[in-house]
């Protein structure tokens, strides 16, 4: 009886019908005919409720079968597909309402899927979730409310009572760029094709020409033998060390489209590490703020990308100032061979760079340093707008000053032989890959 009451829900139709009957009873106090009609309606409503209950509760078995299928992990900053399978085992059509208790982090309080299922019909439903923060997410119950054509009452079925799913750095982006990197079609995502100037003329194999291959590498002898266009696939310089170094300080907590700059940097680090491994380089990782949070030495082992992903998953800022002096000392002590250092950080003004410039100059003496920092796209919109008041003019002037200081930072870094990437957060991954491929093509690493 207790379970019956828990699963029984009254619909709006029932309350509307009850309201109409009450009106007939009230008016019927003065008009006896309407009172009798209201009494007949009440008897009919009670009969319909009993019929509804008998139809929906004619068996103790679950007449609706439903299951939520969750991936083993979710990808941060991406649309993740969640599947729900549902089958109607009733011998008549039913209307269903699905309410999935998704994690509170999504702040989605209007989740509702409505469908009509024929007798014995089975369907698959999908919806998308986009997490913007790493960590564990708790899913609650999968609730299915069922009513028949009359729709006076509903029966609730509950499935998948709780599940925990971790949200990892964007492995969806990683796989997307990985497939394009293998097929040399990175230009599909805005990755620039850069002419190589390396003198290495050793080639690994002769392969069939595909769109995008350089015509200058055509092997005419092999083409004549095979009767199709064949090209030489030349070797790149391999086994170079590529370190992604992430500033975990408070400057990286600035939000953009729901995600922090830190999470954009973490996603880009995972992608560039994977591409470096696919290009036969060695990928490593350093995260720091006031202290060194973690370090994964550059390597090419089979489990290297999983190791980097697991470390990135656990990274959290402590809202402290980044200690670049400690970073320099750590790199000098633990990174003995010349490496490419991709440093993800953020400087809002020229003065903040000047305090740390000496450490970047010291790093650049032994390594190839690329400083990656962010443009504020909201400032771009403010600058592009037309000022209408004196306050608008003041705000636009300040915005232009900040943007100009970003340009000064890139010029100052270039003067000291330090490469830089100034980008908007949503373009971070593409711009970082472009820079890596440019440096590879110029044989600087």
Domain ranges of the chain: 2-56, 64-168, 171-192+238-441, 203-234
For the chain, 445 residues long, give each residue's pLDDT as a single digit of tens. 555 545 665 666 667 777 777 776 777 777 777 777 777 878 877 787 787 777 787 766 678 899 999 999 999 999 999 999 999 998 889 999 999 999 999 988 888 999 999 999 999 999 999 999 999 999 999 999 998 877 778 888 888 888 999 999 999 999 888 766 555 555 555 555 555 544 444 556 787 887 666 677 788 888 888 888 888 776 555 578 999 999 999 889 888 888 999 999 999 999 999 999 988 899 999 999 999 999 999 999 989 999 999 999 988 877 788 999 999 999 999 998 999 999 999 987 888 888 999 999 999 999 999 999 998 777 777 777 787 788 877 777 877 787 888 889 999 999 999 999 999 999 999 999 989 988 887 877 7
pTM for the model: 0.77
Give the per-residue pLDDT at 197. 44
Whole-angstrom distance, CA of residue 418 vs CA of residue 177? 26
CATH number of 64-168: 2.60.40.10
pLDDT at site 384 = 76
pLDDT at 368: 94
- Fold for 171-192+238-441, please state it: Rossmann fold (3.40.50)
pLDDT at 359: 95
pLDDT at 62: 75
């Amino acid at each position: 009886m207790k379970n019956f009451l828990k699963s029984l829900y009254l619909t709006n139709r029932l309350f509307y019908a009850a309201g109409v009957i009450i009106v007939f009873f009230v008016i019927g106090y003065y008009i006896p005919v309407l009172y009798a009609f209201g009494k007949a309606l009440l008897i009919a409503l009670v009969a319909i409720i009993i019929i509804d209950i008998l139809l929906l509760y004619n068996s103790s078995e679950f007449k609706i079968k439903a299951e939520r299928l969750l991936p083993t992990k979710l990808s941060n900053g991406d649309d993740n597909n969640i599947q729900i399978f549902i089958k109607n085992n009733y011998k008549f059509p039913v209307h269903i309402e699905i309410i999935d208790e998704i994690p509170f982090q999504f702040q989605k309080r209007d989740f509702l899927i409505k469908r009509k299922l024929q007798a014995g019909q089975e369907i698959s439903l999908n919806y998308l979730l986009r997490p913007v923060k790493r960590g564990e997410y708790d899913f609650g119950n999968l609730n299915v409310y069922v009513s028949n054509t009359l729709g006076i009452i509903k029966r609730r079925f509950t499935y998948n009572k709780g599940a925990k799913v971790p949200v990892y750095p964007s492995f969806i982006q990683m796989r997307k760029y990985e497939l394009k990197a293998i097929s040399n079609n990175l230009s599909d995502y805005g990755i620039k094709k850069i002419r190589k100037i390396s003198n290495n003329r050793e080639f690994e194999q002769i392969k069939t020409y595909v769109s995008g291959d350089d015509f200058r590498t055509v092997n005419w002898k092999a083409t004549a033998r095979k009767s199709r266009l064949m090209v030489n696939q030349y070797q790149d310089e391999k086994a170079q060390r590529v370190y992604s170094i992430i500033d975990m300080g408070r400057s990286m907590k600035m939000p953009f489209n729901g995600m922090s700059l830190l999470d954009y940097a973490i996603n880009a680090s995972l992608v560039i590490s994977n591409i470096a491994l696919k290009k036969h380089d060695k990928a490593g990782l350093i995260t720091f703020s006031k202290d060194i949070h973690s370090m994964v030495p550059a390597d090419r082992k089979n489990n290297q990308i999983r190791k980097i992903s697991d470390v990135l998953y656990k990274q959290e800022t402590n809202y402290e100032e980044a200690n670049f002096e400690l970073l320099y000392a750590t790199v000098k002590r633990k990174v003995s061979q010349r490496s490419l250092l991709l440093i993800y950080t953020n400087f809002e003004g020229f003065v903040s760079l000047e305090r740390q410039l000496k450490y970047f100059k010291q790093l650049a003496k032994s390594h190839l340093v690329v400083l990656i920092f962010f443009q504020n796209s909201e400032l771009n919109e403010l600058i592009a707008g037309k000022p209408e008041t004196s306050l608008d003019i003041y705000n636009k002037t300040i915005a232009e000053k900040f943007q100009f200081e970003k340009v000064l930072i890139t010029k100052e870094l270039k003067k000291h032989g330090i490469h830089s990437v100034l980008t908007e957060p949503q373009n971070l991954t593409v711009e970082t890959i472009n820079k890596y491929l440019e440096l590879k093509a110029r044989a600087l690493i």
